[in-house]
Amino acid sequence: MPIYLDNAATSHPKPAGVLEAVTLALTEDNANPGRSGHAAALRAARRVLRTREAVAALLNAESPLNVAFAFNCTDALNLAIKGALRRGDHVIASQLEHNSVLRVVAALARRGRIELTLLPPRPDGFIDPDDVRAAIRPNTALVICTHASNVTGAIQPVAAIARVARAAGAQFLIDGAQALGGLPVDVQALGCDLYAFPGHKSLLGPQGTGGLYIRPGLALNPLREGGTGTDSDRLEQPAEPPERYEAGTVNLPGLAGLGAGVDFVAPRISQIMGHERELTSALTEGLRRIPGVTVYSPSEEAARAGIACFNVGDLSSGEAADRLAAQGIAVRGGLHCAPGAHRFLGTLQRGAVRASVGHANTLDEIDALLAAVRALAQSG
């Protein structure tokens, strides 16, 4: 494996406990959770429950029942958006959102189902809660904002936006894809109604996992109907969470691994955040010192998740990322599925290079990337 600095796409490496939990779920505990009553099925169901409890505790959710599992963050965002909206609703979403939000709301708007306002950030790259307030309409039903930009890492003022949404009687959905596991998150203190997250990024679980926090009392329309192993004599989807949102067999190996990932992250979240901040500061400060390099991430440490976004001279971001890959350094060029963020940065044509750190990266690896970028900037 190269020097892996692509953790915002998916985290690597996964802790040993994650690999063990996946293996156990595919061997000794391999049965359908929540369906049959034999011992292996009960063990499988306990694994899923344990993961739900661990994620709920990490989020400070009111109850594990307020966490619905999904297949990735995109799936969770689709459930939140399509499940919360009615025809004629107005939605405010930040321009910094990932396509897993933008394409969903754009499709609903195109079909005439909703009215949509896309809110640009201030020149400093942060969404202004006053701009959200000014965009509110009588029919505003949902406000959506990413917790941290997946392009620049800028941590958005989500608690202040939540207060604006609440005062307007709108639901507030946070996309936590670049936050949960890397930053402390308390959904009750934030005051959000919905918080979507992937399992395979900073929570260190396998791909094919994710979930949605749904505040108590809020019932969404499910994305899918089907078997839940409960209320099987009725043709209606169960009303109760989380079964209401989890039709079909869940991803047992993935969720078992996710539980182990959360067990790894939860007790050391401040340590992980401190480590990632130290690495990202070293990286952004080092990059700023290289002539010809443009850095797009915020300079203030506390305003930034573990992402450094930059370009080298006139090189396209794809070319720069390919040259770094050829030297054994894995980063990501292009648009990172967030065209609005790149439009704001003026990088819609060439994209940008994104280096994203994780718990296992070291300062030596950051130095290696800086040396490679320095060489790239000199060679042009």
Exactly one of 72, 202, 251, 361 binds ligand PLP (CB under 6 A); that residue is: 72
Cα angle for residues 138, 141, 146 (degrees, 5° grid): 125
Binding flag, residue 206, ligand PLP (CB under 6 A):
no
Minimum CB distance to ligand PLP, residue 83 (Å): 16
> Which residue in the set 83, 129, 208, 210 belongs to the binding site for ligand PLP (CB under 6 A)?
210
251 touching ligand PLP, by CB under 6 A = no
227 C-beta neighbours (distance < 10 Å), count:
14
Q: How far is CA 280 from CA 42, 44, 45, 71, 78, in A?
A: 43, 39, 39, 29, 31
Alpha helices in 27-90 (DSSP H): 39-59, 73-84
Q: Which stretch binds ligand PLP (CB under 6 A): 69-77, 103-111, 158-166, 217-225?
A: 69-77
What token pair was written down for 176?
Answer: 């936590």
Asked if 74 interacts with ligand PLP (CB under 6 A), we say yes
Does residue 146 belong to the site contacting ligand PLP (CB under 6 A)?
yes
Other beta carbons less than 10 A from residue 362's beta carbon: 12
Task: Report the phi/psi class of residue 68: left, alpha or beta, with left for phi > 0 and alpha for psi in -120 to 50.
Answer: beta
The reply to whether 150 sits near ligand PLP by the rule CB under 6 A is yes
* Residue 238 touches ligand PLP, criterion: CB under 6 A: no
The count of chain residues that interact with ligand PLP, using the rule CB under 6 A, is 13
DSSP 8-state symbol, 15: P
Residue 255 Cβ, how far from ligand PLP at the closest point, in Å? 14
Per rule CB under 6 A, is residue 51 in the interface with ligand PLP? no
The verdict on whether 337 is a catalytic residue reads yes
Nearest distance in Å: CB 178, ligand PLP: 5
Comparing CB distances to ligand PLP, the nearer of 72 and 280 is 72
Q: Which one of 34, 83, 153, 198 is in contact with ligand PLP (CB under 6 A)?
A: 198
Among residues 51, 78, 100, 228, the one that binds ligand PLP under rule CB under 6 A = 100
- Local structure of 24: helix, strand or coil: helix
d(CA 304, CA 361): 17
Nearest distance from residue 9's CB to ligand PLP, in Å?
6
Q: Considering the complex, state which of residue 150 and residue 311 has its C-beta at the smaller distance from ligand PLP.
A: 150
CB within 8 A of 39, min separation 6: which ones? Answer: none
Sole binder of ligand PLP in the list 18, 104, 177, 180 (CB under 6 A): 177
* Cβ atoms of 297 and 307 closer than 8 Å: yes
Phi and psi, residue 153, nearest 5°? 85, 0
Task: Choose between 43 and 103: whose C-beta lies nearer to ligand PLP.
Answer: 103
Residue (of 180, 158, 142) closest to 61 by Cα position: 180
- Give the shortest CB-87-to-ligand PLP separation in angstroms: 25
The rounded distance, in Å, linking the Cα atoms of 319 and 380 is 11
Residue ranges in contact with ligand PLP by CB under 6 A? 9, 72-74, 98, 100, 146, 150, 175, 177-178, 198, 210
Instruction: Give the active site residues.
Output: 337
